[in-house]
Amino acid sequence: MHHSRIEEQGVSIRDYLDLLLEGKRTVLLSLLVVLSVTSIYLVLAPRTYKADALLRIDKNKALLAANLRGDSNSMSSEAENPRAQREVEILRSRSVLGKVVEDLSLMVEYSPRYFPIIGETLARKHDKHDGIAQPWWGFSRWAWGGEKLKIAQFEVPDRYLDKEFTVVALADDQFQLRDPKDRILAEGPLGELISADIGEIKPVLIQVAELAAHPGTEFELTRKTSLAAIETLQKAFSVQEVSKDTDILSVELKGRDPQQLAQSVNDIANIYVNATVNWESAEASQKLDFLESQLPLVKENLEKAEAELSAYRQKHGAVDISTEAEILLKQAAEMETLGIQLRQKFEEQNQRLESAHPDMMATNAQIKRVNRKLAALEKRIKDLPKTQQNIVSMSRDVQVNTELYTSLLNSAQEQRIAAAGSLGNSRIVDFAVIPEKPYWPKPGLLLVIAGLLGLSFGSALVFLRHSLQRHDNYPALLEYQVGLPLYAAIPHSKKQRQLTRLIDKGKDRETGVLVSHDPLDISVESLRGLRTTLEATLASDESKVIMVTSPAPGMGKSFISTNLAALLASIKKRVLIIDADMRNGRLHETFSTDKQPGLSDLLSGKATLAEVIVSLPDLGIDLIPRGTMVLNPAELLVLGELAETLGQLKSFYNHIVIDSPPILGATDAAIMGKNADATFLVVKESRYTAQEMEVSFRRLQQVGVKPSGFIINDMKEGSSYYPYYGYAYQRSDLQQKNPPSWLASLQAMGEWLNKPEDGEYLPEIDESEIPDDSVRI
């Protein structure tokens, strides 16, 4: 049976919950750590503000302009599509943000120098309406709240760009400038442009417009390049469409200075709107210049054509034009007018577009089609009589130049109107206002996220620890694998842990047995169950020799042996416990006795049985300590007539408990096991494997010892490995309850009046019913 293998049952949600309950301390500790770190961050983190504005992109403006310019075909497709994405890129361009950086002098960065870690938090808590905060004693160089600085101009040589200078406030509206090496460069009053020589061709120029601080307060001052300032602004700047196809843009800027944020956002919006107006006006002016340059030429051609037609008519008189000639004249005039207009359009586009542009290619294709139609019409005109051909040709020139001149006049007037009334295609819907509350950090959101992270991290640690543990040590699984029954599962005892620490430090001179210190401990209750099981299984044996061993050290076999012996003695049994670990036995420390003479002295013939037995009247048991440490305990057990010694002891004791060495560390347990009526393997939860149990089982079987079962020690509360049921009375349940205060007052009054108390006020208490902690259960 012990060679068989059974598959572990599927893991259920209850198993995961049990595992989390078992590791609840780890989860709670992780949660507490994450929440603590988050709380510290919320207190110390600098506040970030956000200012925003709304812009409206008028896409119908393009269609309106197209109708005025007679260019509806090419502009309609652009007007139908949203232009938001293109405008976003324009807003983020260096041409717009660079103007903002220059106007607001964002290349110059300055801020008060706060006390490390907590200084900025304390300064933020200070109410600015109370003026400048008083510095802490001895810390006047740092700012504590309410300080102000405004730099009107700050220029440094190129090699000192991005280097940190220091401005120190002095008395009487004076200030001091120090270089990055903390050397004094200059001193001067506010409002005056001061020049300081720093050993370069270009001096340092500084002009402080405003300074409010206690004398000695320092400010950090840095000059950046325009490109670096633009890149910094781009990182803090964001533009996005409010919703799809609305053409409403939200312009946002994040930073630490609320007033500067609002001013920067409004400046960006105004610069962008003004730029679109200037672009529209410049485009209209460019087209107007082109039209005005063509008007004199067209007018001259018109006058020349009219003069030639008039001279021909005077020379040849009136000539009748047939219906066919009139139709050809009208069509030719229209085609020629359209061709001229297309060529003008091509020249205008050529000034601002590349030859491979789709609009340029489309215009060129239209010109070719018009030329082909015009060539066909001219061929038909040549079939007319000579006189009519001349009249048609001259009349066509007059008509074409007249229509072209009229069209140019109309277009020029429209461009004048467009240039004068150009408003751009953007509008500012909402200007930015100074933010009152910080945008970041958000306490509610961060605490919720921290709570989830803490619980997740703690749970992950629990599952990770579980995954790294051995998983072949399920008690039910071991019963099948090893072929040994489980006799008891002893829960973890905090009291026993304290006793062990005191014994290790040598501070406890009383007995270290848990039964005597805390008989109501849940571990003791589980050991009582083990005692009951042993009484039932060993009832038929004339004498009961119980050997307790373990696969390896540190699994609690001595704890089981000592407390089991004490519990057997509590039911009026004569019990002897033998410390058979003649190498490292420590039962003499547990019972606060001398370690010699003991078992090794008895087996070597240096002491008698009466000399090695130590009586422990407080516990009602006797002890044989390990004795003098020897190097060959196995030989002593074989040659020292152990069986005869146990035979003598059986005649007097009801139970003999042997605390033997680990079975895998020495052969002592195998030798002693042949003289035991019951042998138990003690293992500690999460410290053993099925392989260790099987090897221990086979080691005992090889010498003819059949173990009775195994005991799991130090089970954690809520362990998912083995569900146990423990019940123990609390001391509070057994202690006598004090009578109420009003009842005590009534009793004292009765005694003072020398009157007997009324029985129904004070119930009689039978002292025999009050349990004594010293009585063993």
Query: What is the DSSP annotation of 94-130?
Result: HHHHHHHHHHHTTTEEEEE-BPTTTHHHHHHHS-GGG
pLDDT at position 73: 45
| Cα(253)–Cα(264) distance, integer angstroms | 8
Compute the average pLDDT of residues 501-511.
64
If we measure between CA atoms, which residue out of 414, 416, 420, 424 comes closest to residue 67? 414
Q: Which of 23-37, 349-363, 377-391, 753-767 has the highest mean pLDDT?
A: 23-37
Q: What is the pLDDT of residues 13-32, one digit of tens each?
A: 887 888 888 889 999 999 99
Compute the average pLDDT of residues 534-552.
79
> Which pLDDT band, with edges at 50, 70 and 90, does 371 fall under?
confident
Sheet holding 678-684, edge to edge: 486-491, 709-715, 678-684, 544-549, 655-659, 575-579, 621-624, 614-616
Residue 623 has pLDDT above 90, yes or no: yes
pLDDT at position 212: 94
Residue 512 has pLDDT above 80, yes or no: no
3-state DSSP assignment of residue 92: coil
Residue 349 has pLDDT above 90, yes or no: no
| Cα(246)–Cα(331) distance, integer angstroms | 46
Q: In terms of pLDDT, which residue wins out, 542 or 217? A: 217
Q: What is the pLDDT of residues 141-176, one digit of tens each?
A: 999 999 999 999 999 999 999 999 999 999 999 999
Q: From the centroid of its chain, how far is CA 276?
A: 43
pLDDT at position 296: 85
Which of 179-183, 235-239, 342-346 is the least confident region? 342-346
pLDDT at position 68: 38
- The string over 507-531, giving b where at least 16 C-beta atoms fall within 10 Å of a residue's C-beta and e elsewhere, is ebeebbbbbbbbbbbbbbbbbbbbb
Compute the average pLDDT of residues 703-715.
87
Which of 120-129, 229-238, 622-631, 717-726 is the least confident region? 717-726
Q: Rounded to the nearest 5°, which phi and psi values hold at 248?
A: -110, 120
pLDDT at position 196: 93
Burial of 211 (0-12, 13-18, 19+ CB in 10 A): buried
CA-CA distances (angstroms) from residue 547 to 540, 562, 709? 18, 12, 11
Mean pLDDT of the chain: 80
pLDDT at position 750: 52
pLDDT at position 316: 64
DSSP 8-state assignment for residue 382: T
Q: In terms of pLDDT, which residue wins out, 452 or 629? A: 452
pLDDT at position 584: 86
Residue 572 has pLDDT above 80, yes or no: yes
Residue 745 has pLDDT above 70, yes or no: no
Handedness of CA 78, 82, 83, 89 (dihedral sign): negative
Which of 51-55, 58-62, 177-181, 724-728 is the least confident region? 724-728
| Cα(438)–Cα(442) distance, integer angstroms | 8
Which of 496-510, 561-575, 634-648 is the least confident region? 496-510
pLDDT at position 347: 80
pLDDT above 70 as % of the chain? 79
pLDDT at position 4: 41
Residue 51 has pLDDT above 60, yes or no: yes
> Which pLDDT band, with edges at 50, 70 and 90, does 180 fall under?
very high
Compute the average pLDDT of residues 750-769.
42
Q: In terms of pLDDT, which residue wins out, 474 or 575? A: 575
If we measure between CA atoms, which residue out of 431, 415, 113, 411 comes closest to residue 282? 415
Question: Is beta strand 544-549 parallel, antiparallel or unpaired with respect to 655-659?
Answer: parallel
Is 374 within 8 Å of 332 (Cβ atoms)? yes
pLDDT at position 22: 81
Q: Which of 99-113, 384-398, 400-414 has the highest mean pLDDT?
A: 99-113
| Cα(757)–Cα(416) distance, integer angstroms | 118
pLDDT at position 589: 87
| pTM tops 0.95 | no
pLDDT above 90 as % of the chain? 36
Q: What is the pLDDT of residues 267-315, one digit of tens each?
A: 999 999 888 877 777 777 777 777 778 788 888 887 888 787 778 767 6
pLDDT at position 756: 42
pLDDT at position 107: 94
> Which pLDDT band, with edges at 50, 70 and 90, does 245 fall under?
confident
pLDDT at position 665: 80
pLDDT at position 523: 86
pLDDT at position 763: 37
Q: What is the pLDDT of residues 665-695, one digit of tens each?
A: 888 888 898 889 899 999 887 666 677 778 8
Compute the average pLDDT of residues 342-360.
80
Compute the average pLDDT of residues 245-271.
92
- Written as six digits, the tokens of 311 are 């001279």
> Which pLDDT band, with edges at 50, 70 and 90, does 10 fall under?
low
Is 561 within 8 Å of 548 (Cβ atoms)? yes
pLDDT at position 722: 44
3-state DSSP assignment of residue 55: strand
Residues across the chain: 777
Compute the average pLDDT of residues 624-640.
87
Q: Rounded to the nearest 5°, which phi and psi values hold at 665?
A: -95, -25
Residue 777 has pLDDT above 60, yes or no: no
> Which pLDDT band, with edges at 50, 70 and 90, does 542 fall under?
low
pLDDT at position 754: 46
